[in-house]
Structure formats: structure tokens, C-alpha cells
């Protein structure tokens, strides 16, 4: 029996197919097209036969079996979601469920917003795996690193450019960057003055720069940019004292995300040596 492929190996396999068919600069990926084509090619008796938009209160998307008497699967995404980047990631997430989980998983998958942004290993395994597949398919690490090298210090606009390149949300692009960057950085998502959740880079974790939001409510510090009326200055970054976010100097970049009703903050933690910075001509 052939060993099942991991989310990373599935994404690598599909990336190789796309590179051969379309070249390495094939972004953003048309998830609807490849989900239909790849599933029909690999599993002609059990393909994805329909992808449709419907009103799904409380859900981002779903993977469902075809009605009785029909073969295949359908992907449904929430037509009320305004962000095309979120929709694209949801489509890739559900496609991941199809490739990885349809045989041994539940008969249907109904995924909430939380399911499509929680990438940490502590969350439900099948949702984490679907997110890992989606991130690796839509934003291959080698290409992302060409846009934002490991040691580069980006601005909000640099990450926004990556989000546009890959056809994903700013949140998805920032999470992808946080996962590999060599600089101590923390991505914070807040609303109404409270931190909803946060993700730290490995370098930030080593400096104990992180927030434990699972079982406690954490207020955004009073001196943080996320508390202010945000402007273009905050998108570039403002240095804050060691009495605001952590016990050391930080640079905070922040902006309001209307599509989410959130405030996104990127914290660059002080007391670190950086190898280089992102220049306007060094990042797409």
C-alpha cells in the first residue's frame, strides 16, 4: 500500500506540476481550475465535480460528498465573505481536505474562520494539515523567500505585495512570513482593544516575546499603535519604548483591516542583530 502523502508533499507535488505546465512564475494560483483538473486526473471516479458559492452563516467553506446517486465531491465557499484572498485560501483549504482526508476523515468538512487561520500544531490536526497544504500550495516557500528573504525587515506594504502576488489575505501572507523569518517578530491580531491571538517567530520565541491568548484575555497596551487612529506612518513602523509591548524596545507597524474588523500589528522586537533590510527594489 502506498504511504499517504503529507500536506507538504502534496503541495510540492502540485507545485511541480504547475511549474512544468505554467512556469515558476504562475501566481496567483487558480484554485478552482486546478482542483477540478487535478482531482479529475488523479481520481477520475471520485473527482471534485462542483465548486459553488452559497450563504454559509458561521462558516468559511465546506467539502461535501455529491448527492446520493452521483459521484465525486463539491467545494462550497461563503459568498458573503468580502475578501477574495480569504476565499482563495478557503478553496485551497478544502482542496487539502479532499486530497488528504476524504478517505479516512469525516463524510463532510465544514470549516469556520478559526479553522482557516489556526496553523499551530496544538489545534485540530486535520484543520492544521489543510492549512499547511493551502499555505504551501498558494505560497511556496522558495518563491516567498525570494520576495522576502529570511533576514529582511519588511513593511506592511511589502507583505501586502506578497499577499497580492499569491492571491491571499494579508493575514495568510503574514503568517507565512512569520513561520520562516529569522528576525524576532510577532504578529498580533486585536479588536476593540484586546488581543484575539498572536503568532511569534522562532527568534521572538527565543527572546520570550509572545502572548498566551488561549486561556486568558490580554488587553492591548495603552501606548501601542493598535490603540490609535492609524495612519501611513504606522504602516512603515514606529519605535516604541520598553514599557509598551515587552520589556525592550519594539518597532510596531499596524493598520486596520476593514474586511476583518481587526487591527493587525507587526512587532519587531529589539535587542537583535539583523543581516539586512528590505529595500523597495529588493522586494516585489
pLDDT in tens, 72-85: 999 999 999 988 99
**How high is the pLDDT of residue 124?**
80
What pLDDT band is residue 281 in, cutting at 50, 70 and 90? very low
Those residues whose C-beta lies under 8 Å from the C-beta of residue 225, and which sit 6 or more positions away, are 234, 238, 240, 252, 253, 254, 265
Say whether the peptide bond before residue 69 is cis (omega within 30 degrees of 0). Answer: no
Share of the chain above pLDDT 90, in %: 68
**How high is the pLDDT of residue 278?**
40
**How high is the pLDDT of residue 213?**
87
On average, the pLDDT of the chain sits at 87
Those residues whose C-beta lies under 8 Å from the C-beta of residue 257, and which sit 6 or more positions away, are 170, 171, 263, 264
CB atoms within 10 A of CB 93: 30
Q: Which of 284, 259, 232, 236 lies closest to 85, judged by CA?
A: 259
**pTM of this structure:** 0.87
What confidence tens digit (pLDDT) does each residue in 138-197 have?
A: 999 999 999 999 999 999 999 999 999 999 999 999 999 999 999 999 999 999 999 999
Q: What domains appear along the chain, each with residue ranges and CATH number? A: 7-138 (1.10.10), 142-269 (3.30.450)
φ/ψ (deg, to 5) at 212: -95, 95
Tell me, what DSSP letter sits at residue 227? G
Match 488523479 to its residue by C-alpha cell: 42
What pLDDT band is residue 220 in, cutting at 50, 70 and 90? very high
What pLDDT band is residue 46 in, cutting at 50, 70 and 90? very high
What pLDDT band is residue 69 in, cutting at 50, 70 and 90? confident
Please tell me the distance from the alpha carbon of residue 234 to that of residue 3, in angstroms, as a whole number.
49
More confident residue, 94 or 261: 94
**How high is the pLDDT of residue 103?**
84
What confidence tens digit (pLDDT) does each residue in 1-24 have?
A: 355 789 999 999 999 999 999 998
**How high is the pLDDT of residue 229?**
67
Amino acid at each position: 500500500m502506498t504511504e499517504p502523502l503529507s500536506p507538504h508533499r502534496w503541495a510540492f507535488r502540485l507545485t511541480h506540476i504547475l511549474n512544468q505546465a505554467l512556469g515558476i512564475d504562475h501566481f496567483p494560483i487558480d484554485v478552482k481550475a486546478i482542483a477540478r483538473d487535478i482531482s479529475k486526473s488523479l481520481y477520475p471516479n471520485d473527482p471534485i465535480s462542483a465548486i459553488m458559492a452559497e450563504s454559509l452563516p458561521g462558516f468559511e467553506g465546506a467539502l461535501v460528498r455529491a448527492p446520493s446517486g452521483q459521484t465525486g465531491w463539491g467545494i462550497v465557499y461563503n459568498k458573503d465573505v468580502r475578501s477574495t484572498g480569504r476565499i482563495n485560501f478557503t478553496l485551497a483549504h478544502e482542496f487539502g481536505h479532499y486530497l488528504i482526508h476524504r478517505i479516512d476523515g469525516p463524510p463532510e468538512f465544514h470549516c469556520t474562520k478559526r479553522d482557516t487561520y489556526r496553523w499551530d500544531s496544538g489545534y485540530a490536526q486535520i484543520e492544521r494539515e489543510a492549512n499547511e497544504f493551502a499555505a504551501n500550495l498558494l505560497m511556496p516557500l522558495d518563491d516567498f523567500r525570494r520576495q522576502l528573504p529570511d533576514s529582511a525587515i519588511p513593511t506592511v506594504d511589502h507583505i501586502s505585495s506578497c499577499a497580492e502576488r499569491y492571491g491571499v489575505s494579508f493575514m495568510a501572507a503574514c503568517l507565512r512570513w512569520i513561520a520562516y523569518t529569522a528576525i524576532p517578530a510577532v504578529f498580533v491580531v486585536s479588536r476593540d482593544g484586546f488581543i484575539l491571538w498572536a503568532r511569534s517567530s522562532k527568534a521572538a520565541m527565543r527572546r520570550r516575546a509572545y502572548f498566551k491568548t488561549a486561556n486568558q484575555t490580554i488587553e492591548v497596551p495603552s501606548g501601542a499603535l493598535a490603540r490609535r487612529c492609524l495612519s501611513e506612518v504606522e504602516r512603515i513602523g514606529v519605535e516604541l519604548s520598553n514599557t509598551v509591548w515587552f520589556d525592550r524596545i519594539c518597532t510596531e507597524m499596524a493598520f486596520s483591516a476593514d474586511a476583518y474588523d481587526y487591527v493587525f500589528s507587526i512587532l519587531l522586537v529589539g535587542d537583535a542583530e539583523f543581516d539586512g533590510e528590505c529595500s523597495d527594489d529588493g522586494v516585489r
